[in-house]
A and B are shown apart, each in its own frame.
Chain A
C-alpha cells in the first residue's frame, strides 16, 4: 500500500500543505441542497487519502417531550445498534474490518453520526453502505434497547453521586426552569425506564427528515462523488411533518441560590443565567469579552483574581453556550469548603466589575491577538473543518463564517463589550448552585 518514498513524500506534503493553508486561506466551502432536501456543505481536499462525513439533525435532547426525556438520546444511541440486514456486531465489525471510524455526537440540539474512512473507492463504498443503512433503516431491536436502558440507568445513578453532575443538573434547572434546554440530555431515570422501542421509532420518524439534515463532507472525493454520497445518506430518511418548534427561552430569570450538601471536601460552584443565541448580533462582543472575563485561561480576569492573586482555586472559567436560542452563560469553580463563600463573593465582585466597566484597552488588545493568532489552529485539520461545516449548516451561519471570523473579532471594541454584557448578563438575576456547601453556612 505504501512505498517508502511515497509515504515520506506525502507526510511532508501534508505538513507543507497545512502550514500553507493555515497561513493563507480558509477552506473553500461548496454548498448545495441534495435532491432529498438535505443541506450539504463540502470541502474538497486531496492531500490525505481519506474522507470524513457527518450527518446531523436537529434532534437533540431539547426535542424530547417533558414526560419522555431520554427518547432523543436513546434514539441516537441505538442508531448504530441494529439496521436493516445488519446486527450491531455486523456494524461494528464491518467498520473495524475497513479500518473505518464510526462515531456520533449528541447534545441539547443535535444528533449526529460521523464517519472517517480511507477514500479509496472500494473501502469508502463499503463504509458508506453501513452508514447509509444505520442512518436510514435503523431497527431499534427490543433486546438491545433493554440492555442499553439498563446501562444508561446505571450511568445516570452513578452520576447522581458526583458533585459536578449534581451541580450541573441543579444549575440547568435553575437557569432554564421547565424549558427543554434544562432537560437532562440523557433523560430522567423514571422516564428512561418507561421508554419503549415504539417511542424511539416514533421519534426517529418525526425528527430525522432529510429536509432537516445537514451533511458535511470533507476530504478526498470529487464534487460529483460528494453529491452522490449526500444523496445516498439521506434519500431514504423518513418523510413526515416537521416537529413542533421548541418554546422560547425566558432570558431573564429570578436570582436564586441553592446550597446542596455533599460529603466531598471541595465545593463545586456554578453561577449563571441564559446567555446568548448563535445568531445574536452581540456574538463577537460577548465572545471576545468572555475571553477576557473567564474564557481565556491564565490571562483571564477570573483566573487572575481568584487563582493567581488569592490561590482559592485550581481552575475558574466562564463561557457562553450559544445555541439556536440563548444557551447558558456559566461561571464554574471548585474550592475548599471553608473558602467557598469567600471565593463566590470574589467571583461576584469580579463579574460585577467587568459588567460595569468592561475590559481595559490592554486586555482587549491581548485577547484579540490571542484569538486571531490562534485561529489557524482551529482549522488545521480535516476533522476540525468538518465540525465547522456542521456548525455552519446547523446554525445557518454564513458560508463566509471562517473567512470573516478574524475580522469580526478585530472589529470588537471596549464599549461594545461593555454594552453587550450589560444587555445580556444581570449580576442581580443569576442562578447560583453550591454543591458541598460549607457546613451550617447561612445564605
Chain B
C-alpha cells in the first residue's frame, strides 16, 4: 500500500461495504446508542454521521496512500510470535521462556 497505493476497484469495494455496513448497523438498538455516545464523547456530535459518510465517499486513492506512508512505518511496527509448546513436556517452556520475548 505504501509503495503501490490502492486501486480504484479496491476503493470502490471498501466504500460500498462501509455504506452498506452503516445501514446494517441500524439493525441494532445497542449499536445506535453506542455510535451516538461515541460521537458525542469525541466532540463530533451525533449529527456528524451523514457528514462522515459524505467525506468517506470523497476519499481518493492518493489520500489512502498518503496516510499509509505516514502511519505504516517499520519503526511503529510490533510483532508478536507465539511458539506452541509441547503438551506433555511443560519444563521446556520454562527453560526457553524469555527467549520468546522479542
Residues of chain A touching chain B, judged by Cβ–Cβ distance below 8 Å, are 1-4, 7-8, 10-11, 14-15, 18-19, 48-50, 96-101, 116-118, 161, 262-263, 380-383
Whether A99 pairs with B26 at a CB distance below 8 angstroms is no
Residues of chain B touching chain A, judged by Cβ–Cβ distance below 8 Å, are 12-13, 16-21, 23-24, 26-29, 32, 47, 49-51, 53-54, 57, 87-88, 90
* Count of inter-chain pairs, beta carbons less than 8 A: 66
Contact (A381, B28) CB under 8 Å given A8-B47, A48-B23, A98-B16? yes
Contact (A97, B50) CB under 8 Å given A48-B23, A50-B27, A381-B28? no
CB proximity of B40 to chain A, nearest CB, Å:
14
Residues of B within 8 A of A118 (CB): 20, 23
Classify the secondary structure of A's interface with B. Answer: mixed
Residues of B within 8 A of A3 (CB): 50
CB proximity of B37 to chain A, nearest CB, Å:
13
- CA–CA, A259 to B83, complex, Å? 29
Contact (A7, B28) CB under 8 Å given A100-B20, A118-B20, A263-B90? no
CB proximity of B7 to chain A, nearest CB, Å:
13
Contact (A11, B49) CB under 8 Å given A50-B27, A263-B90, A383-B27? yes
Whether B50 pairs with A4 at a CB distance below 8 angstroms is yes
Whether B87 pairs with A15 at a CB distance below 8 angstroms is no
Contact (A7, B50) CB under 8 Å given A98-B20, A99-B20? yes
Closest Cβ neighbor of A218 among chain B residues: B27
Whether A263 pairs with B16 at a CB distance below 8 angstroms is no
Contact (A15, B32) CB under 8 Å given A7-B49, A8-B47, A99-B16? yes
Closest Cβ neighbor of B28 among chain A residues: A381
Closest Cβ neighbor of A13 among chain B residues: B26
Residues of A within 8 A of B16 (CB): 96-99
The 3 closest A-B pairs by CB, nearest first: A99-B20, A4-B50, A99-B16
Residues of B within 8 A of A383 (CB): 27
Query: Which one, B21, B26, B50, B53, contacts A14 given CB within 8 A?
Result: B26
- CA–CA, A140 to B50, complex, Å? 43
Residues of B within 8 A of A263 (CB): 87-88, 90
Contact (A381, B27) CB under 8 Å given A11-B49, A161-B87? yes
Contact (A4, B51) CB under 8 Å given A11-B32, A18-B29, A381-B28? yes
A-B pairs with beta carbons under 8 Å apart, 18 shown = A1-B57, A2-B19, A2-B54, A4-B51, A14-B26, A48-B23, A49-B23, A50-B27, A97-B13, A98-B16, A98-B20, A99-B17, A99-B18, A99-B21, A101-B24, A263-B88, A381-B27, A383-B27
Closest Cβ neighbor of A158 among chain B residues: B84
Closest Cβ neighbor of B33 among chain A residues: A15
Known contacts A15-B32, A50-B27, A118-B23; 13 additional CB pairs below 8 A are A1-B53, A2-B53, A3-B50, A7-B49, A14-B26, A15-B29, A48-B27, A96-B13, A99-B21, A100-B20, A263-B90, A381-B29, A382-B27
CB proximity of B30 to chain A, nearest CB, Å:
8
Residues of A within 8 A of B18 (CB): 99
Closest Cβ neighbor of A385 among chain B residues: B27
CB proximity of A126 to chain B, nearest CB, Å:
12
- CA–CA, A154 to B61, complex, Å? 39
Closest Cβ neighbor of A10 among chain B residues: B26
Whether B49 pairs with A8 at a CB distance below 8 angstroms is yes
Which of A11, A101, A263, A381 has the most chain B CB within a 10 Å cutoff? A11
Contact (A96, B17) CB under 8 Å given A2-B50, A7-B50, A8-B47? yes
CB proximity of A155 to chain B, nearest CB, Å:
14
Closest Cβ neighbor of B16 among chain A residues: A99
Contact (A99, B50) CB under 8 Å given A48-B26, A380-B29, A383-B27? no
- CA–CA, A100 to B13, complex, Å? 11
Whether B19 pairs with A99 at a CB distance below 8 angstroms is yes
Query: Which one, A10, A19, A98, A117, contacts B29 given CB within 8 A?
Result: A19
CB proximity of B82 to chain A, nearest CB, Å:
13
